[in-house]
């Protein structure tokens, strides 16, 4: 009887640990990040390799699927979650690139503009860089 109670107590502690891990993973997802505790790098690599098989011609994953680059997807992927009483579904947004995608990157520099004889104003911009597609 004592052994059965010890095993039950151990099982309950494991369940509590798994629930804590799930809760922290859900909190990470709510911030838009992909939690490594929920999808380990090997599983993510397999998923991404399967995704590359169904991409349209000319498109590829921005970082590729090499083992050494998988950790980058935890930083660049944006994650959303759809849930009901029985399931949690993740929607992972991963950037793609095309073979002929060339951009020119420009930096916007605002110069002071005279508004009166002794006063100048200078516009401030939210984003100082912008890109234009060459074609």
Mean pLDDT over 49-68 rounds to 87
| Average pLDDT value over all residues in the chain | 87
Whether residue 100 contacts residue 133, with contact meaning beta carbons closer than 8 Å, is answered with: no
Expressed as residue numbers, the domain containing 71 is 2-101
Is residue 42 domain-resident? yes
Among residues 131, 16, 31, which one has the least CA distance to residue 77?
31
> Based on the structure, what is the number of domains in the chain?
1
The tokens describing 110, both together, are 């605002």
Q: Are 19 and 6 in contact (CB under 8 A)?
A: no
Angle at 112 between CA 111 and CA 117, to 5 degrees: 150
pTM: 0.62
pLDDT at position 58 = 80
Q: What is the mean pLDDT of residues 3-17?
A: 95
| Tens-digit pLDDT profile for residues 117-133 | 899 998 888 888 777 77
Is residue 69 in some structural domain? yes
Q: How far apart are CA 15 and CA 124, in angstroms?
A: 53
Q: Within a domain: residue 122?
A: no
Residue with tokens 């002794």: 118
Say whether 78 sits in a helix, a strand or coil: strand
Pick the more confident residue, 55 or 15.
15
pLDDT tens digits along 71-107: 999 999 999 988 888 888 888 888 888 776 666 777 8
């Amino acid at each position: 009887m004592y052994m059965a109670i010890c095993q039950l107590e151990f099982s309950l502690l494991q369940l509590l640990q798994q629930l804590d891990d799930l809760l922290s993973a859900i909190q990470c997802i709510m911030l838009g990040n992909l939690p490594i505790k929920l999808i380990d790098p090997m599983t993510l690599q397999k998923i991404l390799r399967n995704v590359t098989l169904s991409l349209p011609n000319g498109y590829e994953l921005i970082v590729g699927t090499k083992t050494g680059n998988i950790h980058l997807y935890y930083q660049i992927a944006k994650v959303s979650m759809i849930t009901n009483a029985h399931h949690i579904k993740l929607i992972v947004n991963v950037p793609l690139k095309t073979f002929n995608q060339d951009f020119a990157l420009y930096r916007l520099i605002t110069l002071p503009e005279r508004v009166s004889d002794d006063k100048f104003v200078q516009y401030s911009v939210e984003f100082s860089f912008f890109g234009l597609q060459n074609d």
